[in-house]
């Protein structure tokens, strides 16, 4: 009898642990190692045109002041927070929960010469578009530098 009760207690404890695990997994929307629970990444497309590098980010429900774009070295860092809407008190539990909420911080490596001072970002219809003009590739071009006399220096 003592063994049976112990086994029942273990099964009940296991059920609680599994329920807690599923609740945590419902909040988890990341596949990269090191992502904490509740963190997520918006979907991103990066492509280039003849004149620029273009980044399109899925950002439905965001206002422009809830997003931030920072260039640091060769990285473009996108960050923001998608706030969870106020809960409906009549909801007892979810049958399916696929939407993601919480902070995100996404870094993209920019491996081209670009003009950051001319970069522009636009948020329209839930899509954040970042347009970063390329700098002219000067490899192979020639530029002659005039040599001044020692007396003409100021």
- Kindly write down the DSSP assignment for every residue of 50-101, as one continuous string: SSEEEEEEE-TT--GGGEEEEEETTEEEEEEEEPPPPPPTT----S------
Domain assignments of the chain as residue spans, ordered by start: 2-84+99-137
Predicted confidence (pLDDT) at residue 142 exceeds the cutoff of 90: no
φ, ψ (nearest 5 deg) of residue 37: -60, 140
CATH number belonging to domain 2-84+99-137: 2.60.40.790
pLDDT of residue 149: 84
Average model confidence (pLDDT) across the chain? 80
Grade residue 29 by pLDDT with cuts at 50, 70 and 90. very low
pTM of the model: 0.62
What is the residue whose two structure tokens read 């954040």? 128
**DSSP characters over 44-58:** EEEEE-SSEEEEEEE
Using DSSP's 3-state secondary structure scheme, residue 5 falls into helix
Q: What is the distance between the alpha carbons of residues 29 and 21, in angstroms, rounded to a whole number?
A: 14
What is the residue whose two structure tokens read 């002041």? 65
Contacts of 21-26 spanning 24+ positions with Cβ under 8 A: 26/94, 26/97
Q: How far is CA 51 from each of CA 54, 133, 145, rounded to the nearest angstrom?
A: 10, 6, 28
Q: What is the distance between the alpha carbons of residues 148 and 153, in angstroms, rounded to a whole number?
A: 8
74-127 pLDDT, tens per residue?
899 999 988 777 776 777 777 887 777 788 888 999 888 899 999 999 999 999
pLDDT of residue 153: 56
């Amino acid at each position: 009898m003592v063994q049976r009760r112990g086994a029942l207690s273990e099964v009940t404890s296991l059920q609680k642990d599994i329920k807690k695990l599923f609740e945590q997994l419902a909040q988890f929307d990341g596949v990269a190692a090191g992502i904490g629970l509740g963190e997520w990444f918006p979907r991103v497309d990066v492509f280039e045109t003849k004149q620029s590098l273009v980044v399109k980010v899925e950002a439905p429900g965001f206002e422009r002041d809830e997003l931030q774009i920072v260039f640091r070295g060769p990285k473009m860092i996108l960050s923001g927070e998608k706030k969870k809407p106020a809960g409906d008190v009549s909801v007892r539990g979810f049958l399916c929960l696929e939407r993601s909420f919480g902070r995100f911080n996404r870094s993209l490596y920019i491996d081209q010469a670009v003009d950051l001072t001319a970069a522009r970002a636009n948020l329209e219809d839930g899509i954040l578009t970042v347009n970063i003009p390329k700098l002219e590739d000067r490899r192979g071009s020639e530029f002659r530098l005039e040599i001044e006399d020692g007396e003409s220096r100021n």
